[in-house]
Amino acid sequence: MFCGKEDKLETMELPNDSGDLGSEMEVDAFRRLFPLRFYERHLAESIRPDARPLSRARDTTVALGAVASANGSALAKIGSTTMLAAIKMEVMTPSVELPDEGCIAIEFHMPPICSPLVRPGRPAEVAPVVSKQLSDTILSSGMINLKELSLVSGKAAWMAYLDIYCLDADGALFDAALLSAVAAFSHLQIPVVSLNDDGKIVMLSEEQDDGNLDKGAVNKEKRKIALSSIPFSLTCVLHKNYILADPTAEEESIMETVVTVVLDSSNQLVSLYKPGGPVLARTSVLQDCVALTRQRIKELQNILDEAISGMEVD
Amino acid sequence: MGEMVREDGRTANQLRPLNCSRNILNRAHGSARWRQGDTEVLAAVYGPKAGTKKNENPEKACIEVIWKPQSGQIGKLEKEYEMIMKKTLQSICILTVNPNTTTSIVVQVVHDDGALLPCAVNAACAALVDAGIPMKHLAVAICCCLAESGYLILDPTKLEEQNMKSLAYLVFPNSTTSVCTEEASLVDGEPMEHGIITSVTHGVMLVDNYLHCLERGRAASAKLSDFLRKSLKSQLQSDS
Amino acid sequence: MEEKLSVSPASLVDQLVVPGDVILDLSSMANQTIKLGGGLRQDGDVISVIKAGKLRFSKPNKYWVESSHKRYVPSVEDHVLGIVVDCKADNFLVDIKGPSLAFLPVLAFEGGTRRNIPKFQVGALLYVRVVKANPSMNPELSCTDASGKAAEFGLLKDGYMFESSTGLSRMLLSSPTCPVLEDLGKKLSFEIAVGLNGRVWVNADSPSSIVIVAKAIMNSEFLSAAQQRIMVKKLFDKIQSSTV
């Protein structure tokens, strides 16, 4: 994939400005010394250094059930960006204001292994920000009906702890994190619980399952949670008039304007997030980003459906 | 769409009374207080100071934002605000004039009655002007709120924010005075101030509703940038 | 947006400009040389403003934005007041209120040689000239004028130094002499050194005179010429009435 591209670069430099420093320089050195010009050369040819057209996202895979000890888990990869999401369910007492609603706590972790920019002992600056964005998106999209997480009104409800670990950070962190979170929820199986003699909710382990089923079990069997209007996102990088879908970490750091669009399955806008950046986004650019996201969510939906049907066959 | 009555009797497009004062802190290199109705934010700028932090590009100036909430400790929300503010301010400052320096902006929330982030962006922008940090242009921030019915209001109070279905924080460049003819200053057929610096949304909305927000936000941003220019002018005149 | 009507550069002069305003369109003025001062930058084919302040124009072709700040951006040939923060073998490190410390080479004195390196204590106040000011490098200072003479540069002994803004410094240095200094000078005898970096040093025979001068200058920052005169007069009236 790579060498083919680099050959192309050398050939395309020659006919251009001949007195240019770039024409005599090794491609790799040129890339390091003039990263922006390196990219601009590519963009002018409507191609990216990893041989993708501008609007194509990287190969995306989802694997469900990556963590056996969790109630629901998924491993999502977009290019080399890798996210592991796992959900642990616990029983809690619901708040007084919302007695028949469960709760979801979302935490995004960036351990030092994920990127050279993260140092051990110093938490990554972006981790709490992505965390916040994820919980805003998941909770405001209405994907999960929190009422469904209720067990006994006012007494007991489910608390879903969703932890997302970034294993490799190579751009578009939010997209991959959201995908893994959605996949983990679609894999989630709510465990069986029963009321014990003291009126407390206890979780039943696998072995006890059969014997205790009829004895006041609150959920009769493991069940899946219904997901409505699943949110999917696409991050784009803007540079001049170009829109690059699904940027790598290198692209994000060189061309600093990032736009993340989150749409749900009915094409409603869940979030449009553009934190600053040197490029001022015009309405038409934002509309283009939304259009790209529309295409992308179809792809993502298919990938997720395939992963789910793959699980069911097993 | 029927006219919706707002608690404080404003029309949908009406902003709360604005107030901006600069150079109010003696020790800061630049400071400003920005008030929109009862929402009030104090911003102080220190620097540029020598050196940048790790992981920052030493060939450029570094902008650092420290968010101080009205009370309590900072959490994820404040971290997110810090990040949004930092990226927004980075994009309006000229970072190549003072390379390898750090400029700190301390944002102190005095009172939060809705549209807090836009108010903080406006305050920080005024404080940067006061400190004389080189800037490409100014920024004006506005909050649009969207009701279930698709009805749109600007500059909501806290109560309105809570009752609405979704909201969008938008930051636009200010409208500038230019010696160029109108056509020359257009960027691809649109004036520069129509470009969006920052957009943050909460809650689900239709794409068309969002575009509607942009339109109304732009109209309001023209008012805001007029106000900003006037307030800068009145304070400069007293200097000389 | 109503301001989008074409504006002539002349109408902007002496007006408030804010960052982003475009004051000159270079494409419409071929073969003209213009000189840009602080607060302006060339952005492609236009000259735009990067700091808020009053746009000034001096014939034939100089444009700059006048503003007042608490922080100083070093620029060549500015006379500033610096405080020694460290002494190294080749340089004194001097704080001039800029983004980074300035270097004062130990030889940058009149007749400076390796043998007669001056000794300054940390905290000493110097009146110096900026000779190099490049971004990404520490600025360089000198204690001589362009011809290598000590001129008025060097250590400021005794007296009292206070910090104000760059705007106040420019006002004090403007000619004709600003009213506050003129009126003070009629009543008192004192020495003053004003650095463009917003530091002012005052010395006089008696501490009370120093206090009066310093106070009067600090008060004058936001006053007009007439107000300054009234302020100085009031100050002296008050002192006279209190001493009687």
- CATH code of the domain covering residue B93: 3.30.230.70
Residue C240: predicted pLDDT: 84
Give, in degrees to the nearest 5, the angle at Cα A260 between A255 and A263.
Answer: 155
- Name the nearest CA neighbour of A267 among B146, B209, B162, B150: B209
Q: How far is B212 from chain C (nearest CA, A)?
A: 19
Tens of pLDDT, residues C136-168: 788 999 999 888 888 889 899 889 999 988 989
B178 touches chain C (CB under 8 A): yes
Rounded to an integer, the average pLDDT of C201-225 is 90
User: Could you tell me if residue A25 is inside a domain?
Assistant: no
Residue A205 has a pLDDT of 59
Residue B216, pLDDT score: 92
Burial C172-201 (b: 16+ CB within 10 A, else e): beeeeebbbbebbeebbebebbbbbbbbbb
**What pLDDT does residue A123 have?**
83
State the count of interchain CB pairs (< 8 A) between B and C. Answer: 129
Bridge partners, A243 (sequence order)? A238
Whole domain around residue B73: which residue ranges? 18-175+195-239
Which of chain A's residues have a Cβ under 8 Å away from the Cβ of B192? 280
What crossing angle do the helices spanning B207-239 and B116-131 adopt, rounded to 10°?
Answer: 30
Using CA atoms, how far apart are residues C12 and C23, in angstroms rounded to an integer?
7
Question: What is the pLDDT averaged over residues A144-169?
Answer: 91
pTM of the predicted protein model = 0.88
Asked if B229 lies within 8 A of C25 by C-beta distance, the reply is no
- Structural domain range at position A104: 51-207+216-312
Q: Does domain C78-155 have CATH number 2.40.50.140?
A: yes
3-state secondary structure A99-132: CCCCEEEEEEECCHHHCCCCCCCCCCCHHHHHHH
Q: Which of A224-233, A263-272, B182-191, C9-18 has the lowest mean pLDDT?
A: B182-191
Give how far Cα B150 sits from Cα of B199, B204, B213, Å. 19, 11, 10
User: How many interchain CB pairs under 8 A, A with B?
Assistant: 108
Give the residue range(s) of CATH 2.40.50.100 domains in chain C: 15-66
Listed range (A207-216, B230-239, C33-42) with the worst mean pLDDT: A207-216
pLDDT of residue B183: 57
Yes or no, beta carbons of A140 and B202 under 8 Å apart: yes
Residue of chain C with shortest Cα separation from B59:
C136
What are the tens digits of pLDDT across the range B193-226? Answer: 788 999 999 999 999 999 999 999 999 999 999 9
Q: What is the pairing mode between strands C46-49 and C35-36?
A: unpaired
Which of A290 and C135 is assigned the larger pLDDT?
A290
The answer to the question of residue A27 being in a domain is no
Chain B: give the shortest CA distance to residue C187, in Å.
Answer: 25
> Residue A186 falls within a domain, yes or no?
yes
Per the prediction, chain A carries an average pLDDT of 85
Interface contact B148, partner A, CB < 8 A: no
Per-residue pLDDT of C45-101, as tens digits, reads: 888 999 998 898 888 888 889 888 888 888 889 999 999 999 988 899 999 998 889
> Residue B26 corresponds to which amino acid?
N
Nearest CA in chain C to B22: C69
CATH 2.40.50.100, domain C15-66, yes or no: yes
Does residue B132 lie in a domain region? yes
What confidence tier does B49 reach under pLDDT thresholds 50, 70, 90? confident
Interface test with B, best of C2, C4, C56, C68 (most B CBs within 10 A): C4
Chain C touched by B48 (CB under 8 Å): yes
Looking at the complex, report in whole angstroms how far the Cα of residue B94 sits from the nearest Cα belonging to chain A: 10
Residues in B closer than 8 angstroms to A282, CB to CB, are: 187-188, 190, 194-196
What's the rounded mean pLDDT across residues A167-173?
94
| Contacts of B among chains (3+ CB pairs under 8 A) | A, C
Inform me whether the C-beta atom of residue B222 falls under 8 Å from chain C C-beta atoms: yes
Q: What is the value of ipTM here, to two decimals?
A: 0.90
Classify burial at B179, counting beta carbons within 10 Å of its beta carbon; exposed 0-12, middle 13-18, buried 19 or more: buried
**Which residue would you say has higher pLDDT here, B54 or A20?**
B54
B195 neighbourhood in chain A, CB within 8 Å: 279-282
- Phi, psi values for residue B216, rounded to 5°: -70, -35
Nearest to A269 among B79, B86, B206 (CB): B206
- pLDDT score at C3: 41
Q: Which run of H or of E encompasses B55?
A: none
Residue A17, domain member (yes or no): no
Report the candidate in C205, C203, C122, C202 with the shortest Cα–Cα distance to residue C164: C202
Rounded to whole angstroms, how far apart are CA atoms A261 and B163? 24
Instruction: Report CB contact under 8 Å: C19, B135.
Output: yes
Beta bridge partners of B34: B20, B41
What is the Cα–Cα distance from A130 to A136, expressed in whole angstroms? 10
pLDDT on residue A14: 42
The Cα–Cα gap between A108 and A181 comes to: 10
Look at residue B234 and tell me if it is in a domain: yes
Count other Cβ atoms within 10 Å, centred on residue C90.
10
Question: pLDDT: is B187 or A6 the higher one?
Answer: B187
User: How many Å apart are CA B128 and CA B94, to the nearest integer?
Assistant: 12
Cβ contacts of C138 within 8 Å, gap of 6 or more: C100, C101, C102, C103
More confident residue, B77 or C44: B77
Share of chain C above pLDDT 90, in %: 32
Please report, rounded to a whole number, the percentage of residues in chain B having pLDDT higher than 90. Answer: 61
Q: Both tokens of residue C222?
A: 């936001």
The pLDDT, as a whole number, for residue B45 is 96
Contact B13, B3 (CB under 8 A): no
Does some domain include residue A4? Answer: no
pLDDT for the residue numbered C96: 92
**Distance between CA atoms of residues A124 and A118, nearest Å:** 6
Q: Which residues contact B152 (CB under 8 A, 6 or more apart)?
A: B12, B144, B145, B146, B209, B212, B213, B216
E-only strand ranges, C89-139: 91-95, 102-105, 125-132
Report the b/e string of C227-238 with b at 16+ CB within 10 A.
ebbebbeebbee
Measure CB to CB from residue B180 to each of C12, C22, C71 and give the nearest one. C22
- Please, which pLDDT band fits residue A7 given cuts at 50, 70 and 90? very low
Q: A180 to chain B nearest CA, in Å?
A: 21
pLDDT of residue C242: 79
Contact C50 B178 (CB under 8 A): no
In a domain, A274, yes or no: yes
Structure tokens at B153: 């209001």
The residues that bridge with B111 in the sheet, in sequence order, are B40
Whether residue A33 lies inside any domain: the answer is: no
Q: Is the confidence at residue A222, as pLDDT, over 80?
A: no
Residue B124, in any domain of the structure: yes
Answer yes or no: are the C-beta atoms of A181 and A85 closer than 8 Å.
yes
Domain with CATH 3.30.1370.10 in chain C: 160-242
Q: What pLDDT is stored for residue A220 in this prediction? A: 55
Vertex C55: Cα angle to C52 and C59 (nearest 5): 155
Do A and C touch, counting CB pairs below 8 Å (3 needed)?
A: no
Would you state the pLDDT for residue C2? 38
C-alpha angle C67-C70-C73 in degrees, rounded to nearest 5: 75
Strands (E), B69-179: 101-111, 139-146, 152-154, 166-173
pLDDT (0 to 100) of residue B98 = 85
Quote the mean pLDDT of chain B. Answer: 88
Residue A64 CA to residue C99 CA, distance in Å, equals: 53
pLDDT at A9: 43
In chain C, residues under CATH classification 2.40.50.140 are 78-155
Chain A residues contacting B, CB < 8 Å?
Answer: 117, 119, 125-126, 128-129, 131-133, 136, 140-142, 229, 241, 256-257, 259, 264, 267-283, 286-287, 290
Domain count, chain A: 1
Within a 10 A sphere around the Cβ of C243, how many other Cβ atoms? 7
What's the CA gap between B53 and B75, in Å, rounded?
A: 22
User: How many structural domains compose chain B?
Assistant: 1
pLDDT, residue C149, reads 84
Tell me the per-residue pLDDT of A28-71, one tens digit each, with 9 for 90 and over. 888 888 999 999 999 999 999 999 999 999 999 999 999 999 99
Q: Cα–Cα–Cα angle for C94, C72, C211, nearest 5°?
A: 80
Phi, psi of B174 (to 5 degrees): -75, 160
- Residue C7 is predicted with a pLDDT of 61
CA C5 and chain centroid, separation: 36
Fold observed for domain C160-242: Ribosomal Protein S8; Chain: A, domain 1 (3.30.1370)
Helix or strand holding residue B116 (H, E): helix B116-131
Does B197 touch chain A if contact means CB atoms closer than 8 Å? Answer: yes
Q: Which pLDDT score, from 0 to 100, does residue B173 have?
A: 92
Q: Who wins on pLDDT, A156 or B120? A: B120
What pLDDT was estimated at residue A8? 43
Q: What is the CATH number of the domain that holds A227?
A: 3.30.230.70
pLDDT at B110 over 80: yes
- Residue C241 makes CB contacts below 8 A (sequence gap 6+) with none
pLDDT surpasses 70 at B167: yes
The rounded distance, in Å, linking the Cα atoms of B4 and B16 is 16
Chain A's closest residue to B210, CA to CA, is A269
How many angstroms separate the CA of residue B22 from the nearest CA in chain A? 24
Kindly state whether residue B181 falls inside one of the protein's structural domains.
no
**Under 8 Å CB-to-CB from A294, ≥6 apart: which residues?**
A263, A267
Name every chain A residue with its beta carbon within 8 A of the beta carbon of B173.
Answer: 280
pLDDT in tens, A186-215: 999 888 887 776 667 777 655 554 444 445
Beta strand pairing call for A201-203 and A193-195 = antiparallel
| A242 to chain B, closest Cα gap in Å | 13
